[in-house]
Amino acid sequence: MGSSEKFWDKNAKRYSKRPIANEAAYQKKLHITQEYLRPDMSVLELGCGTGSTAIVHAPFVKHIRAVDISPRMLEIARANAEAQRIRNITFDCTTIDKLEVPDQSVDAVLALSVLHLLADWQAVIGRVHRMLKAGGVFVTSTACIGDSMKFFKLAAPVGQFFGVMPLVKVFTTRELTIGFSDAGFKIERQWQPGRNKAVFIVARKEERERINR
Ligand SMILES: C[S@@+](CC[C@H](N)C(=O)[O-])C[C@H]1O[C@@H](n2cnc3c(N)ncnc32)[C@H](O)[C@@H]1O
């Protein structure tokens, strides 16, 4: 078991019981996301945790494949979905790096509180771009720690070494938005509930092929 997997597995129960830090902001993110969802859509959620977001969106789409690295998070997610009689989510235990998804096969990808936890977040944005159909959207909420706490770059590896912190990447909002545009995304919505809060972005894979015809 890798260190990230160990950290999230160990903390799954506590994470599932933790109250949402800013309920109003979470609800706003859910509402904005639902503006982009349609009943015929296939959605992929990366790092779904205990499944709460997938469960809210499931009634509005055809299918959600929700993946996470932690078996315990997924155990809780499956039980939550079952309790709410949600049948159109498939939960999958995998690391995002090993996730196999055919090119141009998905309508929307969600990654909430996840990109900053990935060793190569730019590569993941690029992979998501390939997975999406033309016109598809990538919905993310990301802690851009580099905006306020550059020193965290030095502290994070120590916390990881002692197992009290997961892998955390330090980058700024500007670096994140450049990551999206470098991959070929157009940012349609960008919202931050407050200073130093997670940056919520809806980015669209442009329909170049259609435009070029
Ligand atoms: C901060 S939690 C966010 C969970 C959920 N998206 C939410 O908003 O509540 C991060 C989640 O990402 C998962 N995760 C971290 N690294 C991952 C990776 N490389 N591949 C898949 N999942 C990962 C963790 O297990 C954890 O459930």
CATH number at residue 91: 3.40.50.150
pLDDT, averaged across the chain: 92
Domain assignment present for residue 213? The answer is no
Ligand 1, from 5, 30, 68, 200: best to mutate by most atoms within 8 Å of Cβ? 68
Q: Which residues line ligand 1 (CB under 6 A)?
A: 4, 8, 47-49, 53, 68-70, 73, 95-96, 112-114, 117-118
Question: For 65, phi and psi rounded to 5 degrees?
Answer: -100, 115
Q: Whose CA is nearest to atom 14 of ligand 1?
A: 47
Task: Say yes or no to pLDDT of 144 above 90.
Answer: yes
Report the alpha-carbon distance of residue 184 to residue 132 in Å, rounded. Answer: 11
Domain assignment present for residue 20? The answer is yes
**CA–centroid distance, residue 114 to ligand 1 (Å):** 5
- State which residues form the domain around 94: 3-208
* Structural domains of the chain, count: 1
Domain assignment present for residue 131? The answer is yes
CB atoms < 10 A from the CB of 186, how many?
Answer: 11
Report the alpha-carbon distance of residue 169 to residue 197 in Å, rounded. Answer: 15
Using a cut of 0.75, tell me whether the model's pTM lies above it: yes
**Coil, strand, or helix at residue 152?**
helix
Non-local (6+) Cβ contacts of 26 within 8 A are 20
Q: For the residues 47-70, what does the mean pLDDT come to? A: 98
